[in-house]
Amino acid sequence: MAKPRVTLIGVPLDLGAGRRGVDMGPSALRVADVNAKVAALGYAVEDWGDLPVRIRETQGPGDPRLKYLKEILEVCVLLRERVAEALEAGTMPIVLGGDHSVAMGSIAGLARHLNGRREKLGLIWFDAHADANTPETSPSGNIHGMPLAAVLGHGAESLVNLAGFLPMVEASRASLVGIRDVDPAERATVKSSGIGAFTMRDIDERGMRSVMEEAIKRATTGTSGIHVSFDLDGIDPDFAPGVGTPSPGGLSFREAHLAMEMLADTGKVLSAELVEVNPILDQRNGTATLAVDLLCSLLGKKIL
């Protein structure tokens, strides 16, 4: 019987973020033995290396409401094609970021691939932040604060149309888990979008199991499977200090692993991305190591 196959795609992009360093995320995840640890679970692992990304110092930011739009769009188009190529080859694409802007490319590739078969995609997005800003609401113009809005069909036309249709994912089939730092102007987008928005208060009151049961139900109803978009700043900084925009009061080590284990149990995970690992701010590559361990839980690693 053939082994299940995983394709790793590195995207060393930091143009969407305000703080430097997440461009080294793919290297940090590889140093944390992502290839070997995934292979140890019985997967055949193919590492397709890193996509080419323009260096910030060689570019101008352009529109202050959409900084580095041209360069980020260029990377997302490349990623869209690589993700689609992996899916067509029958492998599971795992994207190693990079800032969270990369999600627009990976989800565009998935959504377009499924749309060609008249199928839908479910989405679970782990994050401290809502990432639901648009050029009109963003206080910084940093695109890594906009990708979820774009995926749901809100924002700059060139971003929302990356899959060739919109929305890439219907809000009724998407959930945002672990948010606790939401910009005032993006709250209206989150509330009106129809996405399942689970704050840290929800997790405190209901527990991670209840929250994930609802998020999984949304992501699997009428879909062919789930894309998991995991921003490591969704984890409490006590466990994951090496992230671009840390926020206290996040998911615990075990809450995060439980979420991944429950997703693995569904057998419906199609793809994933790990983003916003910043080795400059990390301690002995601990955040990247945690990210790889969470990926292993998502791919079926069990305690017993």
Q: Which residues are catalytic?
A: 100, 127, 129, 131, 144, 231, 233, 276
Bridge-partner residues for 272, per DSSP?
94, 228
Q: Which of 127, 95, 148, 149 is nearest to 231 (CA)?
A: 127
Q: Which of 210, 221, 215 is nearest to 177 (CA)?
A: 215
Residue given tokens 């490349």 in the structure block: 78
Q: Which of 61, 53, 78, 231 is nearest to 142 (CA)?
A: 61
Distance CA 173, CA 217 (A): 8
- Asked if the peptide bond before residue 98 counts as cis, ω within 30 degrees of 0, the response is yes
- Give Cα separations from 12 to 32, 53, 114, 162, 267 (angstroms): 16, 7, 26, 20, 29
Q: Which two tokens stand for residue 14?
A: 């930091």
Strands 226-231 vs 269-275: parallel, antiparallel or unpaired: parallel
Instruction: Specify the 3-state DSSP secondary structure of 180.
Output: coil
Angle between the 102-115 and 69-88 helix axes, to the nearest 10 degrees? 40
Contacts of 36 (CB under 8 A, 6+ apart): none
Distance CA 203, CA 97 (A): 26
For the beta sheet containing 5-11, the strands, ordered from the edge strand earlier in sequence to the opposite edge, are 44-50, 5-11, 92-97, 269-275, 226-231, 122-126, 174-179, 196-199
Q: At 28, which amino acid appears?
A: A
